[in-house]
Every structure is written in C-alpha cells, then in structure tokens.
C-alpha cells in the first residue's frame, strides 16, 4: 500500500508539473498581467519572473540573479500551481489555479518572504479583476469590473491609504483616481446622515469632481518629485445614531492631513479633510484644501457644527435661551456653514471675525453666569481651533478682548482657560507656517516653553495648569533632563489629584524613577490569556509600546526580531499595543506575525497600560533584567543588542 500511495502521488505531481508548464505560457499568465508575454512553450524561472503586477505601485522583490532561483510544483487539494524561490529559499512568487480548471487565477508577489500583493481572476475568465495589497503592503483591495487593468472602486482602503492616494492623484492630475476616493451615491445612502447633510454632501461631491482638475493644475505644493510620508490625524470619532437625525452610528475622521516630503527635502502638510467609513472603506466627502499659501485648511465637517448645536439644544431644554439668543445661535449655525465652505484665507478670516463678534453677542445675551460660562468656553475653543488652522490670524486679538472686556476678576478659571488657548493655538499656528525652518522652530519652541512657565506662575491652580505642566515635563524628559521632568510630573501628582492627566503624570514619574526597581505589569494578551510580567522572571524582558500607525515602531520590530533570534529563550519581548481598537492590532498582527506576547486595552494612548508608565510618545521601550528590575527606562532600538549582551553575558 505504501508503494502504491507513493507512486500515485508521484504520478499526480508529474501530471501537475506538465500541466503548469503549459499554464505558465503567455496564454495562461500573460493575458491576465501587464507583463511582457512569455513566449516559451516550456517556461523557465526567468519566464515566471518576467510577469509583473497589473498595478504599478507595488514594492516587491525582484532577484538580481534569476538563474539562481528555482521553480517548484505546488499541490494542496484542488489548489495547484507554482512557487518561485530565491537562492536563499525565500518565497518570491506564487501562481495558483484555485478552482482546478487548468487556468491560473491568482498571481501572488512577495517582499522579504511576505505576500504584499495579489492579482485575482475571481470570475475565472483569464483576466484579473481584483487587486489586493497584503501583508506589509497595506490593506487596499481594488475592483476592476470591466477588466481593463484600471481600478474602478475600492472595496477596502484605510484612512492612511486614502491620504496617500489623494496625494498621488493630485500629483498626477488623475481625476479618475481621485474620484474613486469620494463617497458614492449608493454609499451615501447607506451612511445614515440626516436629509440636510445628505444634500450638503452631495453638493460637495459634485463640486469636488468638477473642480479637481483645476485644483491639480494650479497647486504647487505637491511637486512631481514629492512623496507621501505619513498620515496626519488625531483619532477617529463616532457620531451616535439619533444625533441630528442620523439613523446610524457614523464613523468620522475630521481634519485629516497627509505629510509629504518635497523635492528639496522639506516637509509639507496637505489638508485632506474629512473622511467617513462605509463598510471596510474610508471615503472623502470633499476636495483637499490649502494647497497654496492663499488658502487655508477647512475645519472639521461634523464635530464643530455639533458643538454649537448641542450647546443650543441643551440650553433650550433647560429653558435658558431667550428669543434674542435663539436668533443669534441660528445666525451662528448659518455662519459656521459659510466658514466651512470658504476656500481662501481672506474669506475665512473675514467670516471668522463676524463669528467672533456673534459669539460675543451670545455671551452678553446669556441670562445667567452658568450659561455665559459655557459660551465663553465655546468662544475660546472654537476661535483657538480657527487660529491653529491658519483661518483666523487676528484671533489672538479677540481672545485678549474677551479677557479684557467681558471677564471679571472673579472669573479666574475662565481667564486662565482663554489665556491657555491663546498660548497653545498661536504656537500651533506659527509651527504650521509655510516658511518655518529649523532655526525658527527652535526659537518658537523655546518661546512656547517660556510662555507655559509664565502661565503656571500666573495661574498655578487653574484647570489648565496640569496640561501645561505635562507639556513642560514631556519636553524636559526628551531633552534628557529627567530630574527636571520628574519635578513637573510630581506637581501634577501632588497638586491635581482629579486632573485628567493625573494618571499619566503619575505613570511618567514612576517610569523615570523605575531604574533599579522591580516592575509590575499585568494584562490580557491578544489570545485572551491573562499575562503577568512576574511569570517571566529569570529572563531579560523588553517592554515595547507600539501602534500600527507608528512607522518607527514597526521598524523597531525588525530589530527586536533579530535580537530574539540571536539570544533565544533568554530574551522575551512583550508588546503593548496603543491602537484605539483591538481590531486594528489584530489586523496588523495577522499580516505581521510577532512571536511574542501582545497586550492591548481600549482607549489607545489613554489606556491603563499606557498611563501606568506615563507613556507620552511612541515608540517607548523599557528593559527589565532577570530579577524583574528595570535596567533602562527608555532604551533605543540601536542600543538593544549591546545591552542584551551585557545582561546575558
């Protein structure tokens, strides 16, 4: 029986070998790929490696010496095909027949042994109609309904990839590429927004399509040699169902941007705008803005309007709005729409001046101090946001006017808040200036730290003091002045027990004072199992704080992987993921398998695991010795191997 079985397998492999030599011909492969046709009747490794992805923006391994590679037959159930390996036995390509019809329908391309892209013939007619980026290549999934090689729609695309595609579309003046990033009418119907927003978004989409070509030609920010660097955005938000008549939860990214490197090496920011999620894809609802110095970035489409609306609704329910005040609030809502739709700095600045005066009138019309205080805070926060966006250069004057003419000596907390907003927003505005350089950045940063010090001296007990102290502590820490940083963190810990940043400051103080002390760490890993750092006693442990959006973090993982391979079981990394959702971590780990424990808790950079050690930026790594004591509270990846040599000598 054993010989018979073996002979049967050999016969099947031989038949398969012959069959796939035919399938690798130009008819079976070249017809579905934008590659040089393979003419040989009996294909070779060189023939297979001539095939290229249909989409051109794919980074995959191309061996320098194809003759040293090998082609290997593959068979598993009904799936059969070919694998191409490099001389070092790393997988380069897979060509598969997944439905046993003797035609290749999957063309898979690899980088560093990981599949990064796949052309798919889902209807088995010999032409690719789906294109998937995988592994470290991203998550894009494009559909080509007419099989002409051009993507017609994105089935899956991340916010990061939307910003990258937007930059490329503008750079190339490709209206079709930009158009498939916009939300479609069918998707808009699925979104669940109110009727008024539905009509407004339709107008925006129509305008975006008609104005794109002119914008791409006129703009000068994204040159031919510019390249996308990374995604800019704080975190997404959810507008719950039944808010302003929307029928579903709406997942939103407001104020998204892309950071690009220009040809001269300088970086610039492209204001992409608002993104909404539909299924597994994120969509644009407008044109990018501020692509030349005469323009300014739009504000958030969803959340600023909600702020005004919610304030008005809450106060109306409390009976705190007079007819006069209601009229002013209605005018404010209309003005907000005008500001959001405005295209130039001049227009926005003029409208924002009107808005500041209107808000001042609302503050003065408030029936009591409680209502007045709420609107004063809204005044400061929204004007501060406009200043940061570069949409209200004179906004600082209005914030000062608010302090000098409206607020009274007893309004200490409000005065402090307005002054803190003024300091922070003006700093952000100047840091975003197009003519900023390293020398100016240094001076501006020093001035900002000095302003924070003065603020603390003037308002030591204000509600914004803990945030100012945290910023000062953070800057001292990353300037290498750990003792000074601890003093700032300690002032928050001892003086502001109820502050939002209290846990973060206490954790940062603990981390900076942790060297030589035992470290306690507990949590739940990605498989659902409980984890205790004490269970790894006897091994050197690296605690690695990371997130899927942090490019440097993912680079550090390669260093950690090499260190683990070198030092074996004596060294154990432990990852602490700082993504907002566990699904983001799971998606990353599915594509990038990491053979060490990964812990996660909700709330991203504000979760318990992050706050317990006061992690303020990523990546952050701590090294713990065999006895469970911290030996380095902020080790750099470049130091890791030498420190492990020392610990495991």
Query: pLDDT tens-digit profile of 331-341?
Result: 888 888 788 77
CATH superfamily of this structure's domain 522-647: Glutaredoxin (3.40.30.10)
Q: What is the mean pLDDT of residues 505-527?
A: 94
Q: What is the mean pLDDT of residues 289-308?
A: 58
- Contact criterion met (CB below 8 Å) for 284 and 273: yes
Q: Which two tokens stand for residue 185?
A: 């009418």
Q: What is the mean pLDDT of residues 426-455?
A: 86
State the pLDDT at residue 1: 33
State the pLDDT at residue 539: 95
Pairing of strands 141-143, 530-532: unpaired
Q: What is the mean pLDDT of residues 367-371?
A: 82
Q: Where are the beta strands (DSSP E) in 399-534?
A: 522-524, 530-532
Most confident of 14-23, 225-234, 316-325, 511-520: 511-520
Residue 630 CA to residue 620 CA, distance in Å, equals: 14
- Which comes out higher in pLDDT, residue 496 or 343? 496
Using pLDDT thresholds of 50, 70 and 90, give the confidence band for residue 7: very low
Q: Look at the block and give the residue holding tokens 């981390």.
A: 511
State the pLDDT at residue 234: 64
Mean pLDDT taken over the chain: 85
Q: What is the mean pLDDT of residues 180-203?
A: 89
- Contact criterion met (CB below 8 Å) for 273 and 166: no
State the pLDDT at residue 292: 56
For residue 293, pLDDT over 60 is answered with no
CB-hemisphere CA count at 13 Å for 595? 10
Q: CA 133 → CA 64, 116, 120, 280, 594, distances in Å?
A: 23, 6, 11, 14, 20
For residue 3, pLDDT over 50 is answered with no
Using pLDDT thresholds of 50, 70 and 90, give the confidence band for residue 309: low
Q: What percent of the chain has pLDDT over 70?
A: 88
- Of 44-48, 181-185, 480-484, 485-489, least confident by mean pLDDT is 44-48
Q: How many Å separate Cα 405 from the centre of its chain?
A: 42
- Contact criterion met (CB below 8 Å) for 136 and 592: yes
Instruction: Give residue limits of the domains in the chain.
Output: 14-156, 159-173+189-292, 438-512, 522-647
State the pLDDT at residue 368: 83
State the pLDDT at residue 303: 61
State the pLDDT at residue 29: 44
Residue 626 CA to residue 223 CA, distance in Å, equals: 53
**Model confidence pTM above 0.75:** no
Residue 484 CA to residue 593 CA, distance in Å, equals: 40
Residue 325 CA to residue 560 CA, distance in Å, equals: 60
- Contact criterion met (CB below 8 Å) for 241 and 192: yes
Residue 585 CA to residue 607 CA, distance in Å, equals: 14
Using pLDDT thresholds of 50, 70 and 90, give the confidence band for residue 318: very low
Residue 340 CA to residue 389 CA, distance in Å, equals: 12
Residue 345 CA to residue 329 CA, distance in Å, equals: 24
Q: What percent of the chain has pLDDT over 90?
A: 47
Q: Which pairs count as long-range contacts for 490-494, CB under 8 Å and 24+ apart, including other chains? A: 492/466
Q: Which two tokens stand for residue 387?
A: 């200043």
Q: Is 338 helix (H, G, I), strand (E, B) or coil?
A: helix
Q: What is the mean pLDDT of residues 136-147?
A: 91
- Of 158-172, 314-328, 368-382, least confident by mean pLDDT is 314-328
- Which comes out higher in pLDDT, residue 439 or 503? 503
């Amino acid at each position: 029986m054993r010989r018979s079985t073996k002979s049967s397998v050999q016969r099947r492999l031989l038949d398969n070998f012959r069959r796939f030599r035919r399938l690798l011909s130009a008819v079976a492969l070249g017809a579905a790929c934008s590659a040089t046709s393979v003419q040989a009747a009996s294909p070779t490794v060189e023939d297979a490696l001539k095939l290229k992805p249909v989409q051109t923006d794919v980074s995959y391994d191309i061996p320098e010496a194809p003759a040293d590679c090998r082609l290997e037959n593959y068979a598993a159930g009904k799936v059969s095909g070919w694998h191409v390996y490099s001389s070092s036995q790393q997988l380069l390509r897979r060509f598969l027949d997944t439905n046993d019809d003797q035609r290749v329908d999957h063309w898979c391309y690899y980088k560093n042994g990981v599949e990064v892209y796949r052309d798919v013939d889902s209807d088995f007619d010999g032409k690719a109609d789906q294109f998937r980026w995988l592994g470290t290549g991203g998550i894009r999934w494009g559909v080509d309904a007419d099989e002409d090689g051009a993507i017609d729609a994105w089935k899956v695309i991340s916010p990061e990839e939307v910003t990258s595609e937007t930059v490329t579309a503008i750079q190339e003046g490709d209206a079709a590429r930009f158009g498939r990033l916009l939300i479609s009418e069918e998707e808009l119907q699925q979104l669940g927004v109110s009727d008024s927003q539905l009509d407004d978004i339709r107008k925006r989409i129509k305008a975006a399509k008609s104005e794109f070509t002119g914008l791409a030609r006129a703009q000068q920010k994204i040159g031919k040699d510019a390249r996308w660097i990374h995604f800019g955005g704080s975190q997404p938000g959810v507008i719950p169902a039944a808010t302003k008549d929307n029928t579903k939860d709406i997942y939103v990214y407001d104020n998204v941007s892309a950071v690009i490197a220009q040809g001269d090496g300088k970086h610039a920011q492209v204001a992409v705008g608002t993104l909404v999620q539909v299924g597994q894809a994120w969509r644009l609802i407008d044109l990018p803005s501020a692509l030349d110095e005469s323009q300014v970035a739009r504000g958030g489409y969803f959340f600023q309007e909600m702020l005004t609306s919610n304030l008005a609704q809450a106060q109306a329910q409390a009976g705190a709005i007079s007819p006069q005040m209601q009229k002013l609030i209605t005018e404010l809502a209309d003005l907000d729409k005008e500001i959001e739709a405005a295209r130039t700095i001049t227009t926005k600045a003029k409208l924002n001046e009107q808005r500041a005066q209107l808000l001042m009138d609302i503050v003065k019309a408030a029936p009591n101090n409680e209502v007045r205080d709420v609107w004063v805070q809204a005044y400061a926060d929204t004007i501060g946001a406009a200043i940061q966006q570069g949409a209200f250069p004179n906004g600082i004057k209005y914030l000062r006017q608010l302090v000098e003419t409206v607020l009274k000596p007893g309004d200490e907390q409000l005065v402090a808040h307005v002054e803190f907003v003024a300091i922070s927003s003006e700093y952000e505005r100047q840091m975003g200036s197009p003519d900023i350089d390293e020398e100016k950045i240094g001076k501006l940063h020093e001035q900002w730290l000095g302003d924070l010090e003065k603020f603390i001296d003037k308002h030591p007990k204000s509600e914004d003091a803990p945030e100012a102290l945290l910023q000062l502590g953070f800057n001292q820490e990353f300037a290498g002045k750990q003792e000074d940083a601890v003093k700032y963190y300690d002032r928050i810990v001892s003086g502001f027990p109820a502050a939002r940043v209290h846990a973060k400051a206490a954790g940062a103080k603990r981390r900076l004072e942790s060297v030589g002390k035992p470290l306690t760490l507990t949590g739940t890993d990605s498989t659902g199992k409980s984890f205790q750092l004490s269970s790894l006693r006897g091994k050197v442990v690296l605690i690695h704080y990371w997130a899927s959006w942090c490019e440097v973090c993912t680079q550090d993982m390669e260093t950690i992987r090499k260190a683990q391979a070198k030092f074996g079981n004596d060294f154990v990394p432990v990852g602490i993921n700082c993504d907002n959702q566990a699904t983001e971590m799971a998606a990353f780990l599915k594509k990038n398998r990491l053979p060490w424990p990964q812990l996660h808790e909700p709330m991203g950079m504000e979760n318990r695991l992050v706050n317990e050690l006061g992690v303020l930026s990523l990546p952050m790594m701590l090294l713990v010795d065999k006895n469970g004591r911290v030996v380095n509270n902020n080790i750099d990846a470049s130091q890791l191997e030498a420190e492990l040599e020392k610990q495991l000598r």
